[in-house]
């Protein structure tokens, strides 16, 4: 009997098509890069559409139901992402350092969007969040697709388990996208080292966040460490470092860019913690007070406890002990927490620290003297937006102002 052909056995539909030899590396052209300069977000989206179409098609070869239920959902979730801040940081860091590796930069940008999709999908499971970006969270959507009541025990268990797999799929696609991006050997080594570090930092930061929720109050230093791993490195510094690596930037320039972006990233997380308590849900897209109800070990709460302890304010400490980690906390209880954050001075201290970090980011970026003026200005604008986003409506005492 002759050798079986793919059509002769049960696994014929699982054999991916021959994609041919690897694409050779060629440097990007300045004209291509300048065209993307005018619409980085649009270019990232178009690249994402192409990459994700291939990913979904491959998933369909594994199983049509898996593709319909999970792969399409992950692709859609990624495509309707937020502001594409990570790919924009990568792009303008590369351009600031004189790079024009357009295809590689856009593909790495898609990889960043996919790893962010993984983080958000699984974060919503861990936080039991029901919505994301104004729509049902992925674990809720998967439960609905399976025809199960989202509030039932079976529905909650299925949704959480399926969403973990959806997040894993997004991470697999992210790694595949980076691995299949063609780069010369030296730059490939730098990019992959940064990518490995970023993945590990993201997971470590998320774990510290979870660990802090069961360990009671954490120190301010520990809270800052968590913020650095979970946000500053993963969301800001590593995308900037990837852009510098693509451009082949020297060590001095790379160090200045990374330092500036780390300061900006920590400032972002501190402001995000403030918005988690004081932000208007109509603007932020997330329920106000969820960080308190979940017992998130934020720097804001750490400072409130430190200040209350130093002042001997036992009432403030009692309010925090009663409210933090209380999933049933109502608006009146949340109002008490807000009052404590104000009266202890924690809110003002955190706002001032975020402001100082933003100023440090700006000063450090100036030290990167060998960067392109125009692209460096665009990068500076992004870091400024990260460190000090436009002021949002804030709620005081439960009322939107």
pLDDT tens by residue, 27-42? 668 889 999 999 999 9
The percentage of the chain sitting over the pLDDT mark of 90, rounded to a whole number, equals 69
Among 161-175, 214-228, 363-377, the range scoring the smallest mean pLDDT is 214-228
What is the reported pLDDT for 14?
A: 37
- Categorize the per-residue pLDDT at 96 as very low, low, confident or very high, splitting at 50, 70 and 90: very high
Q: What are phi and psi of 391, to 5 degrees?
A: -60, 135
- Give the span between the Cα atoms of 140 and 163, in whole angstroms: 9
Among 2-16, 199-213, 327-341, the range scoring the smallest mean pLDDT is 2-16
What is the reported pLDDT for 16?
A: 40
Helix, strand, or coil here: 399? strand
CA angle (311 as vertex; 306, 313 as ends), nearest 5: 90
- Give the span between the Cα atoms of 147 and 143, in whole angstroms: 7
- Give the span between the Cα atoms of 66 and 70, in whole angstroms: 6
The percentage of the chain sitting over the pLDDT mark of 70, rounded to a whole number, equals 87
- Categorize the per-residue pLDDT at 392 as very low, low, confident or very high, splitting at 50, 70 and 90: very low
| Residue range 128-136: mean pLDDT, rounded | 82
Which residues, at least 6 apart from 124, have a Cβ–Cβ distance to it below 8 Å? 132, 137, 138, 139, 163
- Give the span between the Cα atoms of 368 and 371, in whole angstroms: 6
| Residue range 106-119: mean pLDDT, rounded | 96
Nearest C-alpha neighbor of 102 from the set 179, 55, 39, 172? 39
If you count DSSP H runs as helices and E runs as strands, how many of each does the chain have, helices first?
A: 19, 4
Helix (H) or strand (E) segment spanning residue 132: strand 131-132
Q: What are the tens digits of pLDDT across the range 224-240?
A: 998 899 888 999 999 99
Q: Is 22 left (phi over 0), alpha (psi -120 to 50) or beta?
A: beta
Q: What are the tens digits of pLDDT across the range 303-339?
A: 999 999 999 999 999 999 999 999 899 999 999 999 9
- Categorize the per-residue pLDDT at 201 as very low, low, confident or very high, splitting at 50, 70 and 90: very high
Nearest C-alpha neighbor of 188 from the set 196, 197, 179? 179
* CATH fold of 39-80+102-182: Farnesyl Diphosphate Synthase (1.10.600)
* CATH fold of 184-401: Farnesyl Diphosphate Synthase (1.10.600)
What is the reported pLDDT for 389?
A: 64
| Residue range 16-37: mean pLDDT, rounded | 65
What is the reported pLDDT for 115?
A: 95
User: Does residue 232 or residue 388 have the better pLDDT?
Assistant: 232
List helix spans (H) across 38-184: 40-62, 64-66, 72-79, 85-96, 102-127, 138-145, 153-179
Q: Is 5 exposed, middle or buried (0-12, 13-18, 19+ CB in 10 A)?
A: exposed
Count the Cβ atoms, other than its own, within 10 Å of residue 351: 13
Sequence ranges of the chain with CATH classification 1.10.600.10: 39-80+102-182, 184-401
Sign, CA torsion 378/51/182/116: positive
Nearest C-alpha neighbor of 102 from the set 244, 257, 254, 246? 246
Angle between the N-to-C axes of helices 346-366 and 373-387, in degrees from 0 to 180, rounded to the nearest 10 = 170
Average pLDDT, the chain: 87
């Amino acid at each position: 009997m002759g050798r079986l052909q793919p059509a002769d056995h049960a696994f014929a539909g699982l054999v991916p098509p021959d994609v041919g030899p690897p694409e050779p590396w060629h440097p990007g052209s300045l004209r291509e890069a300048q065209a993307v300069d005018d619409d980085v977000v649009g270019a990232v989206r178009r690249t994402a559409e192409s990459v994700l179409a291939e990913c979904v098609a491959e998933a369909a070869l594994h199983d049509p139901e898996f593709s319909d239920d999970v792969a399409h959902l992950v692709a859609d979730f990624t495509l309707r992402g937020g502001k594409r801040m990570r790919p924009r940081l990568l792009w303008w860091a590369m351009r600031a350092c004189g790079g024009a590796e357009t295809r590689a930069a856009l593909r790495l940008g898609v990889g960043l969007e996919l790893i962010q999709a993984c983080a958000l999908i699984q974060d919503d499971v861990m936080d039991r969040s029901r919505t994301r970006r104004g729509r049902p969270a992925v674990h809720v959507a998967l439960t609905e697709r399976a025809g199960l009541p989202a509030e039932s025990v079976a529905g909650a268990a299925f949704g959480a388990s399926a969403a973990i797999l959806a997040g894993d799929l997004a991470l697999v696609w992210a790694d595949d996208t980076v691995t299949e991006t063609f780069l010369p050997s030296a730059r490939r080594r730098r990019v992959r080292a940064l990518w490995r570090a970023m993945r590990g930092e993201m997971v470590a930061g998320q774990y510290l966040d979870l660990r802090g929720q069961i360990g009671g109050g954490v120190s301010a230093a520990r809270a800052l460490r968590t913020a650095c791993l979970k946000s500053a490195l993963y969301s800001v510094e590593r995308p900037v470092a990837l852009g510098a690596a693509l451009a082949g930037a020297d060590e001095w320039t790379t160090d200045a860019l990374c330092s500036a972006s780390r300061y900006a990233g920590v400032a972002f997380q501190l402001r995000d913690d403030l918005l988690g308590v004081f932000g208007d849900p109509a603007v932020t897209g997330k329920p106000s007070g969820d960080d308190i109800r979940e017992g998130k070990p934020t720097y804001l709460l750490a400072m409130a406890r430190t200040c209350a302890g130093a002042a001997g304010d036992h009432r403030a400490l009692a309010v925090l002990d009663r409210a933090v980690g209380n999933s049933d906390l109502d608006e009146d209880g949340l109002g008490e927490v807000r009052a404590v954050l104000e009266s202890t001075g924690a809110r003002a201290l955190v706002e001032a620290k975020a402001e100082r970090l933003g100023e440090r980011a700006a000063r450090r970026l100036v030290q990167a003297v060998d960067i392109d003026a125009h692209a460096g200005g665009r990068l500076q604008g992004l870091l400024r937006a990260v460190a000090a986003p436009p002021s949002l409506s804030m709620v005081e005492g439960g009322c939107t102002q």
